[in-house]
Amino acid sequence: MIGRRPGDFLWATGIEDTFVPQSRPGHRALDEYQLMGHYDQWRGDLALLRETGVRAVRWGVPWYRIEPLEGEYDWRWTDAVLPYIVEELGVTPIVDLMHYGCPFWLRREFASDEYPAAVAAYAGAFAERYRHLVHWYTPLNEPIVTALFCGKRGLWPPYLRSDAGYVRILLQVTRGILATIAALREADAEAVVVHIDASGLSRTARTDLAALAQEEQSRTFLPTDLVTGRVTPDHSLFAWLVRSGASPDELARIATKPPTIDYLGLNFYPQWSTTQLYIDRRGRLAYRPVEQEGEGFTHLIEEYHRRFQLPILVTETSARGGEDVRARWLEASVSAIRELRARGVPVLGYTWFPLFTMVDWRYRFGRGPIEEYYLELGLYTLRRDGAGGNGDDVGRWSATPLVEQFRSYTGDAESAIGPLLTDAGLH
């Protein structure tokens, strides 16, 4: 487990690993590893970790490739990559078992009645095979985004578009998370569970919208409320859940025996994670991102810790913009963590995400070449001169000044994030 001293702080980075392999007219397959060449050039990609000084890497597994047919696993790729991460690089992988995409054989994807058992069987098989290398797991990354994109907005399979769809998917992924945690702990007594969701703050431009903003904030907490057994009949969204199709008996079953969560992981991006409710020119409720300098970051972490009383890992953060924008946010966010720790809030890890160039999710709905969708949030950028092509990963990446800045923090945690003040006032 992570200690409380600065030297035990878990510095990490990660490789964007969204997998939505299903396509349809107007929707291209979105597999970040395939689009960024990681399946072929993983060794060079992961070798960058040496230069950052991190102790851990968030790295995902493409379920649809690992289990191409139900119950039949293909471990060849992970058999090569995981020993390299652990034994050669000396880095701890925090494995995303589910980063959105389901295998093709699972009809109706997250809406399938078979989903919870299927994902748990895959997770258990993975943990059984790699328990000599891997102990840290994220059962499912960002359940709130999964429910929104798959159940409310109809952007990803199974393309549902309603509150009822949102609730159906949310309950399905909750069942999957609970079953996955049980399977992990059965296969590996040392399993460490990091429950990760997209965090967010809801603001309002008008006092008469305050109740709506509070409801929106409750919806942000809802996935973690479900997983931690907090959704009981007195929960502020219990009635809405039932009216949207949730069974009270099912909610009671979910709340009865919540699993042990070791760490609460929060994903926060200053340009996207704080939303303001307002009334537009047509008199309708609307939403817009605000506080794009990340002013609410400290408050948000405090709110999550106050509510869930779990140690916190910042599992994703970065900033959209030029290197100067990213550098300012890196400095500001690390300083915020130092402030939080000085006040006794147990922030025990920080992840700059992603490590390098990723493909914007808009690629799935676009028609242009991939180059139009490169998104620079990372410490390294993809060279555009063709270096590293044809399987040659030497020179594929260009380091930004953020690498040296980040390494100055990982190399001197005492100065960067300081000690964690305990209740007794001791470090």
What CATH number should be reported for the domain holding residue 407?
3.20.20.80
The answer to whether position 426 is within a domain reads no
Amino acid 381 reads T
The answer to whether position 422 is within a domain reads no
- The tokens 């001293």 sit on which residue? 5
The answer to whether position 307 is within a domain reads yes
- The tokens 């960002």 sit on which residue? 142
**Rounded distance, CA 381 to CA 85, Å?**
21
The answer to whether position 427 is within a domain reads no
Region class of 118: left (phi > 0), else alpha (psi between -120 and 50), else beta: alpha
Instruction: Name the DSSP letter for residue 422.
Output: P
Instruction: Name the DSSP letter for residue 420.
Output: P
**Rounded distance, CA 173 to CA 187, Å?**
21
Q: Is the peptide bond before 354 cis (omega within 30 degrees of 0)?
A: yes
Instruction: Name the DSSP letter for residue 399.
Output: E
Q: Which of 326, 331, 314, 390 is nearest to 357 (CA)?
A: 326
In angstroms, how far apart are the furthest CA atoms of the chain? Answer: 60
Identify the pLDDT of residue 404.
98
Q: How far is CA 64 from CA 127, 177, 302, in A?
A: 17, 17, 37
The answer to whether position 1 is within a domain reads no
Q: Which of 192, 75, 67 is nearest to 122 (CA)?
A: 67
Identify the pLDDT of residue 424.
41
Amino acid 393 reads D
CB atoms within 10 A of CB 384: 10
Identify the pLDDT of residue 427.
43
The answer to whether position 318 is within a domain reads yes
Cβ atoms 179, 119 nearer than 8 A: yes
Tokens representing 400 are 């930004």
Identify the pLDDT of residue 386.
59
SS3 state at 107: coil
Please state the domain count of the chain: 1
Q: For residue 299, what are the domain limits?
A: 6-416
Mean pLDDT by 10 residues, the chain (427 residues): 82 98 97 98 97 97 98 98 98 97 97 98 98 98 97 98 98 98 98 96 84 84 98 97 98 96 96 84 87 86 96 97 96 97 97 98 97 97 69 73 98 96 55
- Strands 274-279 and 285-289 turn out to be antiparallel
**Rounded distance, CA 31 to CA 17, Å?**
7
The answer to whether position 153 is within a domain reads yes
Instruction: Name the DSSP letter for residue 31.
Output: E
CB-based contacts of 53, cutoff 8 Å, min separation 6: 11, 406, 407, 410, 411
DSSP codes of every residue in 280-327: -TTS-EEEEE--TT-TTHHHHHHHHHHHH---EEEEEE--SSSHHHHH
SS3 state at 26: coil
Identify the pLDDT of residue 423.
53
Q: What does residue 275 show for φ and ψ, rounded to 5 degrees?
A: -120, 140
The answer to whether position 421 is within a domain reads no
